[in-house]
């Protein structure tokens, strides 16, 4: 397409001059002719070209950052290697090449780099790389087949603490191979514990992550604690390296009594365990010992509040001397569990708590109004300080030893996350980009910058949303529109790069997405408004977004669709059972029946907690809020997407939708992805199946919109 500018005279008279014409590849800017890169719409296949940067950690002296870079390899797998970039901005360099390395950690003196690698398949091991001497990394551990959880250097640099879960002997790769050779069946799972599976992690039965100590000089590995019924998910070293603290539930029925989480201190030499005194009932996680040794920070909720995380997760400080907890955000309406959903970024459900070197502040990521920023909470009290700002996602990985620098990832709606260094200037941190792995691709793509809006629901409640107008939209043109509903439900859409949304806009659709009640990032009252009451206030807000969508002059009201995944799939099912205004729908990894979900999800809900009643007694509330109850009214053509390996929302939820709609004669299709995929397939599934999913979505919208 030719790009032309008109002179002032031409603008006034409408006359064109030959001298006004410019070459197709140039444009006049600031009275100069400059080249223009011809851009193209993004496609599903561009998913294969994206580079994802995650897990940044800064060296103690702040001079360099290690991180993992992930991309799709030629073998249809996500390859993950470690890279290092100097803080002064020198070209990043790759330091591992096996495609299975991640979680780089600097030793306290910055000389060694520890990381997890699966290069010696099927075992995962911790490797050490001497950054001063160079050479090849060496395997420090010799664990059997299993899963390495969290690990970290002791402050004196002599040990590494690590959580490891050994795979059951009958399910090792060697045992499975032998059964195939002997032509015998796989053994059954004999299950005694309620906690025996987790979506994305599979079925592990009795196996748990136990705590180990590894000597860096010799590689000697000792198990130092294995008494937690649910295992150990994280820990923190004492500053003197003599002890490890962690949050754990040692109750005999921890799933049934989740409020029994407590902080414990373990002596790494004697293995003596001590319950830290003065703790009340509540949930606890992400313990972090202060540099001065006086406090342990952790994230949690006090009391008996359990299930679905509707209420704010608070930042607590346990005072070791006074033997008591202090809630740092008791009077601040912020949540440490308010992450922003994306299909490209790295989402963590566990807060990363960072102490400043003076032990006066704890930094945690806080989601608010679609953004995500590091926030410093002050032990002395007072309002917390937001350390960065803007319509973007900023996540700190670690701080330098002097607290002046932080390793970070930063992304926005039009830029996938890249590695940044953040430098403290007074109360705030200034960020500077260090990597540009996606820059070449982005320069070729015609991406859409979403427009931000606030509207009112029918009861006057404020609803935050964004609109992505389709590429090539012209005046007086009417286009089909799609309403996207996020999962959770206690999460948020916002300022993260969403490949799927950009693909839809490139294909000619207007995309509307927002944060109805139930979403994080707008205060606890906004979030808890739907606790035990799905399909009420949230549906009111979604109807407001749908109404706003239909009011736009460029939207063809006869061609609108609704879609969402997980809870978004639930609300899609709810929508088609309560209105026929949508021309088509796509429900992804959805919930359709809360009664059957009760016994088929990896995260069971206790009776009379989040919802009143339960599946076997007083099920009326669950049934009234089950979309399948209202399916006799459905006439909307619906595509159903689900993974057979989904342990969060079992595939039977999709089967109920498909069977019902088929009996009712509603046009429908069920796409069941294989047992090897899980609830988060759209984010972490095999690249070829992610592409298949996107093309199924485009095909359905093209067919009905």
Q: Please list, in sequence order, all residues whose beta carbon lies within 8 angstroms of the beta carbon of residue 300, skipping any fewer than 6 positions away.
A: 247, 261, 282, 283, 284, 285, 313, 314, 316
Long-range contacts of residues 450-457, Cβ cutoff 8 Å, at least 24 apart: 450/413, 452/391, 453/548, 455/544, 455/545, 455/548, 456/544, 457/537, 457/540, 457/541, 457/543, 457/544
Tokens 């070293």, residue located: 237
Report which of 494, 487, 490 is spatially closest to residue 335, judged by C-alpha positions. Answer: 490
For the chain, the residue count is 705
Catalytic positions are 566, 679
Give the chain's radius of gyration (CA, Å): 27
The secondary structure of residue 400, as a DSSP letter, is -
> Are 329 and 317 contacting, i.e. CB atoms less than 8 angstroms apart?
no
Helices 567-578, 537-551: inter-axial angle, 10-degree rounding: 70
Q: What is the dihedral of CA 601, 302, 332, 544, to 10 degrees?
A: 30
Asked if residues 682 and 500 have their Cβ atoms less than 8 Å apart, the reply is yes
- For 252-316, give the secondary structure using H, E and C: CCCCCCCCECEEEEEECCCCCEEECCCCCCEEEEEEEECCCCCEEEEEEEECCCCCCCCCCCEEE
Place of tokens 């239909």: 550
Angle between helices 499-506 and 687-704 (to 10 degrees): 40
**Spatial separation of the C-alpha atoms in residues 626 and 613, rounded to whole Å:** 14
Q: Residue 316 and residue 625: Cα distance in Å, rounded? A: 35
From residue 480, give the alpha-carbon distance in Å to each of 91, 473, 475, 499, 685: 44, 11, 15, 19, 29
Strand pairing category for 64-72 and 52-58: antiparallel
668: tokens are 């429908």
């Amino acid at each position: 397409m030719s790009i032309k500018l008109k002179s002032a005279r031409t603008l006034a008279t409408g006359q064109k001059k030959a001298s006004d014409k410019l070459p197709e590849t140039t444009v006049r800017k600031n009275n100069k002719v400059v080249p223009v890169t011809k851009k193209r719409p993004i496609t599903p296949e561009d998913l294969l070209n994206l580079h994802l940067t995650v897990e940044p950690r800064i060296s103690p002296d702040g001079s360099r950052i290690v991180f993992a870079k992930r991309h799709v390899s030629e073998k249809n797998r996500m390859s993950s290697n470690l890279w290092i970039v100097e803080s002064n901005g020198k070209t990043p360099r790759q330091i591992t090449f096996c495609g299975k390395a991640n979680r780089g950690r600097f030793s306290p003196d910055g000389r060694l780099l520890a990381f997890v690698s699966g290069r010696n398949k099927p075992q995962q091991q911790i490797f050490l790389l001497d950054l001063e001497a160079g050479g090849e990394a060496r395997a420090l551990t010799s664990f059997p087949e299993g899963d390495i959880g969290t690990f970290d250097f002791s402050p004196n640099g002599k040990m590494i603490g690590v959580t490891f879960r050994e795979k059951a002997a009958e399910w090792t790769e060697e045992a499975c191979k032998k059964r195939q050779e002997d032509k015998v069946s796989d053994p059954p799972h004999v299950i005694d514990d309620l906690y025996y599976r987790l979506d994305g992690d599979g079925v592990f039965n009795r196996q748990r992550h136990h705590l180990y100590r590894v000597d860096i000089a010799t590689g000697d590995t000792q198990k130092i604690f294995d008494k937690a019924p649910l295992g150990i998910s994280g820990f923190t070293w004492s500053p003197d390296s003599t002890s490890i603290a962690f949050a754990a539930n040692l109750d005999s029925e921890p799933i049934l009594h989740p409020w029994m989480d407590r902080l414990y201190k373990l002596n790494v030499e004697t293995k003596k365990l001590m319950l830290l005194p003065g703790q009340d009932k509540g949930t606890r996680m992400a313990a972090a010992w202060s540099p001065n040794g006086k406090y342990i920070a952790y994230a949690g909720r006090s009391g008996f509040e359990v299930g679905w995380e509707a209420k704010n997760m608070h930042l607590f400080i346990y005072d070791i001397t006074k033997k008591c907890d202090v809630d740092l955000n008791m009077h601040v309406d912020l949540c440490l569990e308010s992450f922003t959903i994306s299909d490209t970024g790295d989402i963590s459900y566990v807060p990363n708590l960072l102490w400043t070197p003076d032990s006066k502040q704890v930094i945690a990521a806080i989601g608010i109004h679609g953004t995500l920023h590091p926030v410093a909470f002050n032990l002395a009290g007072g309002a917390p300080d937001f350390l960065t700002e803007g319509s973007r996602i900023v996540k700190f990985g670690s701080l330098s030893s002097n607290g002046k620098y932080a390793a970070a990832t930063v992304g926005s709606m039009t830029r996938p996350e890249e590695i940044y260094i953040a430098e403290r200037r007074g109360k705030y941190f200034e960020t500077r980009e260090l990597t540009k792995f996606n820059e070449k691709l982005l320069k070729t793509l015609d991406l859409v910058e979403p427009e931000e809006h606030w509207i009112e629901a029918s009861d006057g409640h404020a609803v935050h949303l964004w609109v992505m107008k389709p590429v090539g939209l012209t005046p007086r043109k009417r286009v089909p529109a799609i309403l996207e509903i996020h999962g959770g439900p206690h999460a948020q859409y916002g300022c993260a790069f969403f490949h799927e949304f950009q693909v839809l806009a490139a294909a000619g659709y207007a995309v509307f997405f927002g944060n109805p009640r139930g979403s994080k990032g707008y205060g606890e009252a906004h979030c808890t408004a739907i606790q035990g009451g799905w399909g009420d206030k949230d549906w009111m807000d979604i109807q407001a977004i749908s109404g706003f969508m239909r009011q736009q002059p460029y939207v063809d009201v006869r061609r609108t669709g609704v879609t969402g995944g997980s809870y978004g799939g639930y609300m899609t099912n709810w929508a088609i059972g309560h209105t026929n205004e949508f021309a088509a729908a796509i429900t992804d990894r959805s919930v359709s029946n809360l009664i059957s979900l009760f016994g088929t999800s990896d995260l069971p809900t206790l009776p009379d907690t989040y919802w009143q009643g339960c599946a076997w007694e007083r099920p009326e509330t669950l049934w009234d809020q089950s979309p399948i109850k209202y399916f006799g009214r459905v006439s909307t053509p619906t595509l159903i997407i689900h993974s057979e390996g989904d342990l969060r929302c079992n595939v039977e939820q999709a089967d109920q939708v498909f069977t019902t709609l088929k009996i009712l004669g509603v046009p429908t299709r069920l796409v069941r992805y294989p047992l090897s995929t899980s609830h988060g397939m759209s984010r972490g599934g095999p690249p070829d199946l992610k592409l298949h999913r996107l093309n199924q979505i485009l095909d359905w919208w093209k067919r009905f919109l």
